Amino acid sequence: MTGWQDWRERDAAAWIAVPTDGSDKYSRGVLGVVTGSDRYPGAAVLGVEGAARTGVGMIRYLGADRPADLVMRKRPEIVTAPGRVQGWLIGSGMDAASRPEDDAQRLRSALRDGTPLVIDAGALDLVGRASAPVIVTPHFRELATVLAAAADDDSDAVTADDIAADAAGWAARAADSLGVTVLLKGHTTYVAAPHGPRYAVTAGPAWLATAGSGDVLGGVLGALVATHAREIDEDGHDALAALGATAAWVHGRAGERASGGGPIVALDIAEALPGVVRDLVRAAG
Ligand SMILES: NC(=O)C1=CN([C@@H]2O[C@H](COP(=O)(O)OP(=O)(O)OC[C@H]3O[C@@H](n4cnc5c(N)ncnc54)[C@H](OP(=O)(O)O)[C@@H]3O)[C@@H](O)[C@H]2O)[C@@H](O)CC1
Ligand SMILES: Nc1ncnc2c1ncn2[C@@H]1O[C@H](COP(=O)(O)OP(=O)(O)O)[C@@H](O)[C@H]1O
């Protein structure tokens, strides 16, 4: 496998935004979140928790009522009033095949906002509709679905098994053909910018293969994107790829820290995030 750089602690340490004496919640960065549904309300809680524990000035949760209630019960710090944001996380815990009109409207607003987006799970069908740079976070089946939708005809279709057999290659091909940065999840997570950098991240134990783990990763990445608006503005997909690799590294290490060799649930990963970020800040200092 050539052209792939292993993403390590020192690389990740350069992509943590540390607040200064002059910071306030807005200057640190605000993340807008449209995730969760009646069917999967927990994904909204997990993504918000991942973002909050990674560090961000504020989170505006702007999804449906049921997930919003659960998000607020878990974390009263979250704001449900609309307003300006520096990045979006959309799609975790949503289902493109059964999207209520209210959700379609919420997603359209985010896509037209002009700020960078993390697009996950049930919003991946909207990948071509964004007015700002996008990073997508599919697993193998989700990437197969996205590529099938973009293919000219059925003979071009790629299956999840094809992707599993050559995850690095498909991450790179998808980034180049879709024009978005692709973070393809797995034991090794591959992050590819369109015709740009390629990073491989192997940072966490297989215990991370648990329901909701990817929803937490979406939150980690959302927080990193919202706190690096200037870098994304200047370097576009190069910055998004570095942020994606950092998110996968931080998520993997949080899984390792939470696990200690035993089983974990997704919220354990979120709860281990501040310690991982603290160690990275120390490593950078
Ligand atoms: N707490 C929450 O709110 C959580 C919410 N989540 C949210 O859920 C949404 C859907 O995401 P996903 O990745 O689970 O769905 P998807 O890509 O459609 O895959 C379905 C495929 O799996 C297969 N399959 C199913 N059961 C199987 C079995 N027992 N053994 C083997 N295979 C089995 C099934 O195969 P089939 O049964 O059809 O043969 C089909 O191919 C997404 O929005 C995500 O964010 C999750 O993050 C979890 C926590
Ligand atoms: N075998 C594994 N080893 C390490 N990490 C894994 C493994 N399998 C999955 N993961 C990680 O766990 C997360 C699973 O995400 P995802 O498939 O979206 O699950 P969910 O939809 O339940 O949240 C990803 O971050 C992925 O990289």
CATH topology of domain 5-276: UDP-N-acetylmuramoyl-L-alanine:D-glutamate ligase (3.40.1190)
Q: Beta partners for 5? A: 199
Contacts for 279 with CB less than 8 Å, ≥ 6 apart? none
Q: Beta partners for 6? A: 200
Instruction: Assess whether the C-beta atom of 214 lies below 6 angstroms from ligand 2.
Output: yes
Distance between Cα 38 and ligand 2 center (Å): 23
Distance between Cα 84 and ligand 2 center (Å): 31
Instruction: Assess whether the C-beta atom of 35 lies below 6 angstroms from ligand 2.
Output: no
Q: How far apart are CA 43 and CA 151, in angstroms?
A: 29
Instruction: Assess whether the C-beta atom of 211 lies below 6 angstroms from ligand 2.
Output: yes
Distance between Cα 214 and ligand 2 center (Å): 6
Domain boundaries, the chain: 5-276
Instruction: Assess whether the C-beta atom of 164 lies below 6 angstroms from ligand 2.
Output: no
Query: Whose Cα sits closest to atom 19 in ligand 2?
Result: 214
Evaluate if pTM is beyond 0.80.
Answer: yes
Minimum-distance ligand to the CA of 186? 2
Query: Whose Cα sits closest to atom 16 in ligand 2?
Result: 214
Local mean pLDDT, 10-residue blocks, the chain (285 residues): 90 97 98 98 98 98 98 98 98 97 98 98 97 97 96 81 98 97 98 98 96 98 98 97 98 98 98 98 90
Instruction: Assess whether the C-beta atom of 213 lies below 6 angstroms from ligand 1.
Output: no
Distance between Cα 32 and ligand 2 center (Å): 23
According to the 3-state scheme, what is the secondary structure of 1-37? CCCCEECCHHHHHCCCCCCCCCCCHHHHCEEEEECCC
Distance between Cα 188 and ligand 2 center (Å): 10
Q: Is the Cα torsion angle 33, 37, 41, 46 positive or negative in sign? A: negative
43 labelled as ligand-binding? Answer: yes
